[in-house]
Amino acid sequence: MLKRIYCRGFQGAMHLGAKGLPWRRAEIRWGTQYLPDVLRECKSQRPMIVTGPNLYRRGITGRALCAVDAEKWRYGLFCEVENDPSEKTVERICEIYRKEECDGIVAIGGGSPMDAAKAAAARIARPEKSLAQLEGLLKVHRKIPPLIAIPTTAGTGSETTIAAVISQDKTHRKVAISDLCLIPRFAILDEELTLGLPPRTTAQTGMDALTHAVEAYLCVLNNPQANRVMAEGAVREIFRFLGQAVANGADREARKAMLLASYRAGCAFTRSGVGNVHALAHALGGKYGIAHGLANAVLLPLVLEDYGSRVHKRLARLADVAGIPGKGDAPARAAAFIHAVREENQKLGIPDRLECIREEDIPEMADWAEREANPLYPVPVIYDRERFSALLRRAKEG
């Protein structure tokens, strides 16, 4: 009880303080042909490109940089960002940035390159502080180099969020650095870069975006009406277009709609926050390397069910927004929404359990999740370690 009182008190103070913060959104540009113009607007003459090895080998990074190469810009390049970027990777980016005398950062890829770029920007702005010292909320508090994000998946929303999630080298625990200065200045959205994305990746990143939107919508504080509208729009578009994008990787309409849905979901959870699904997914990713979207997809219906009556009214509204057929009172419509999430997972080939979870690891992961969620996340129900442990066991058993 005392812990719950403390958490709600902390969240209430954050809610009041957030009203005075300079919230903003990354400006959208549609098409990578505008990258040189954006760089000029940012007054960046020698940007640092941060991307992943697969994107670089497949030529996607080159496609994103065509307009820059055509104008013969010089830039630094780091193309070795791994899944779940590490502290070591961030420090290597900073080293190359300084060596090449760069004056801006362009992140190309999914959540990993964007998170690595954001964390590097934080370290460049605060060279006297380690990543461990920057962990948490509003610890950077200084202007970072101009940051431009070009997503190649539709899911993380990192192109418009305040957070960078990095894996600690020694413990593999995922930690978040969160500050308004980490919101990219521009988000360049281009569906051409997502065409042909493998169905599995499309499905998992799409469910990641859905989790962002739903968890943001359910936050009990820091959730103004404009924010809820963003979340509703993301939920509507994901239920309409995700299956279409998975079935046909060349469907430009679906790809463009999913990019916009991911952006909207990112805007929503940047202002409101995420919740217990994410706390558990980060723990699972840190311990087993499970893809973040996959963990979110499996956990989302389990946590929504576990919240019970505290979320019935809002889930009922989301059922209507998503066009889920049926009638009934709020509990019935909430149940219909949760059932629809499970059906979506099934249609997309996402499992209903995570059998890799080991019983002996559950206490440590529950501790990680509890430390991440409390007191920061304004969730409908505050979990303790026992409840996190119970959810991990449910995820293992299905």
CA dihedral over 143, 144, 150, 151, signed as positive or negative: negative
Is the model's pLDDT at 39 over the cut of 80? yes
> pLDDT by residue (tens digit) across 212-241?
999 999 999 877 888 899 999 999 999 999
> pLDDT by residue (tens digit) across 124-151?
999 999 999 999 889 999 999 999 999 9
The answer to whether 177 and 119 are in contact (CB under 8 A) is yes
Q: How far apart are the first and last CA of the chain?
A: 30
Tell me how crowded residue 308 is: count the other CB atoms within 10 A of its CB. 12
Is the model's pLDDT at 172 over the cut of 90? no
Helix (H, G, I), strand (E, B) or coil at 240: helix
Is the model's pLDDT at 190 over the cut of 90? yes
DSSP assignment string, 155-181 = S--GGG-SEEEEE-TTT--EEEEE-GG
Is the model's pLDDT at 19 over the cut of 90? no
User: What's the pLDDT at 1?
Assistant: 81
Confidence of residue 32 (pLDDT cuts 50, 70, 90): very high
User: What's the pLDDT at 254?
Assistant: 98
> pLDDT by residue (tens digit) across 69-125?
999 999 999 999 999 899 999 999 999 999 999 999 999 999 999 999 999 999 999
DSSP assignment string, 279-291 = HHHHHHHHHH---
Is the model's pLDDT at 2 over the cut of 90? no
User: What's the pLDDT at 295?
Assistant: 98
- This prediction has a pTM of 0.94
Give the Å distances, CA to CA, from 26 to 43, 298, 321, 355: 17, 30, 25, 38
DSSP code, position 217: H
CA distance 180 to 157: 15
In the sheet that holds 174-178, the strands lie side by side as 136-137, 174-178, 163-167
Is residue 325 packed enough to be buried (19+ CB in 10 Å), middle (13-18) or exposed (0-12)?
exposed
The answer to whether 46 and 74 are in contact (CB under 8 A) is yes
**How much is the mean pLDDT over the chain?**
95
CA distance 329 to 337: 12
Tell me which residue of 268, 163, 162, 152 sits closest to 205, measured CA to CA: 152
Least confident among 220-229, 235-244, 280-289, 342-351: 220-229
Backbone angles phi, psi at 57, to 5 degrees: -65, -35
Structure tokens at 326: 């049926």
